[in-house]
Structure 1
């Protein structure tokens, strides 16, 4: 199978996990190549996601690396094969590549948790609300850029409406409910939509009110995307300059799990949150 010069985030993650297994086994790329019966360049391409790998190859590597975690091995084997052409690939030339990668991650996630301070989560936004946000971008976006971003965002929301939707939890600060992006009518429509989405059995919305001052956060929004096993979880961080950072080191994952736990302990219950949103709608 020919190598690729533009591996997806999922392919790069598979390669990175293989590198971690090799390093834990105390093997160099050259040493691993000898045991696997391939050249060192082949090992390097597999670890950078530049060449497809079969499930059988994954299991052979796990044996060479003395990995006995069957759940992890099965999860890695499920990530193998040729690059899939998901709907997000249509946008690779039209939106930042990080948004394409995020859509792919969301599609494969077993569960999603997000935390935001001043914005409604992207997967819970109305079209009018999202358009209002894109129109406020600095520097301004061209109209066709706004439309690409808008259709991409709406397609991302499809994971919450498919036959097997992942559990989705959104922790939102009260500030996000009080922002008036797009004006009163758009804001009321957004809050009503948020309320409707919170009624879905797989969607949990919890609000942190202004009065709660004991939660640990810098205000930076982040997504926590759960993989089939905890080792394959990913944290996605937004940044003001438009790029996204994806974190998957064990210490980083543990940190954000702890942050989410503390934020959830400061948030209203789902029922209290729905009552709170009702009051916010009346205020707008």
Structure 2
């Protein structure tokens, strides 16, 4: 199995989790490699996601590292499935790796939660709204790149049509709902789409009105993807320099608390739907 030149976020995550297990028992990479009967460079490549590893080898690592959490071991073994050409691979030479990693993260997540203050959730955007957003990118994108990013964003919405459907929860501040990106008509179509999606059993939309006052966080877009076990949860942040994924225990705890507090000050899903319809009528 040749080394990978560009491991995905999921492959890097598996390697990072194996390293966490090794660190938990105080083994150096040299000692662990010796006991596993592989070279230290091979172990480093595995922990960096640059070299594939089988489910059987993952279980061997777990035994060496005295990991007795059967659910975690099973989840890690499940991450070793052979890499298939999923739909986002067609964009690999066209879009930043972070966007492909986001699609991969959503595809494998058990549930998805997001908090939005100034933009509407990507998974709930219409084609015209998404295109308008990408036309504001700095530096300005050429028209073909705008279309590639738009089509990628819309294809990410396949998670809503999976079997079974993936539970999704979005908490949106009123500020994002009142932003008229693309003008009145595009905004009307976008808000109507969110109302329609919010009526699906597996989609929950909550709104934080202006009158709620202060809210936690700094207005940064946050996506929380729940893994097979809590240790494999992931936080994805949108930043001006690109997409960033976090998964340390301290970071996960922080963002779970943030989302809980963000959702707690929002209107109920039913009241939120009515609130969005009021904004629609005023447009």
TM band (smaller chain):
over 0.9
Matches within 5 A, 1:48-197: 48-197=48-197
Q: Indicate the larger mover: 33-42 or 67-76.
A: 33-42
Q: CA deviation at 1:41?
A: 1.3
The answer to whether the Cα contact below 8 Å between 1:9 and 1:101 also exists between their aligned partners in 2 is yes
Structure-1 residue corresponding to 2:44? 44
| Cα distance in 1, alignment partners of residues 183 and 228 from structure 2 | 41
Render the CA deviation track for 1:84-115: whole Å, top value 9, x for unaligned: 21111111111111000000010000000011
1:249 deviates by 0.4
Q: Which residue of 2 aligns with 1:3?
A: 3
Equivalent pair of 1:226/1:233 in contact (CA under 8 Å) = yes
TM-score, normalization by structure 1:
0.98
Instruction: Identify the residue that residue 199 of structure 1 maps to in structure 2.
Output: 199
Deviations 1:226-276 (A, max 9, x none): 1000110111111123x1111000000000000001011100000000110
4+ residue segments displaced more than 3 Å = none
Counterpart position of 1:244: 243
1:50-85 deviation per Cα after TM superposition (whole angstroms, max 9, x unaligned): 111111111111000000000000000000043221
What CA distance in whole angstroms lies between the structure 1 residues aligned with 2:222 and 2:280? 26
The CA distance in 2 between the partners of 1:138 and 1:282, in whole Å, is: 33
**Separation in 2, partners of 1:81, 1:3:** 16
Cα deviation, residue 283, structure 1: 1.2
The equivalent residue for 1:274 is 273
Whole-Å separation in 1 of the counterparts to 2:51 and 2:133: 39
Q: Does 1:257 align with 2:262?
A: no
Q: CA deviation at 1:139?
A: 2.3
Contact 1:214 1:266 in 2 (8 A): no
Size of the aligned set, in residue pairs, is 283
SS of alignment partner, residue 166 of structure 2 = coil
How far the C-alpha of 1:214 sits from its partner, in A, is 4.0
Question: Structure 2: which 5+ runs fail to align?
Answer: none
| 2:32 aligned partner | 32
Any idea what the Cα deviations from partners look like across 1:164-202, whole Å, max 9, x if unmatched? 221100010000110101111111100000000000111
1:12 aligns with 2:23: no
Partner of 1:224: 224
Secondary structure at the counterpart of residue 263 of structure 2: helix
Which whole-Å CA distance do the structure 2 matches of 1:32 and 1:15 have between them?
Answer: 14
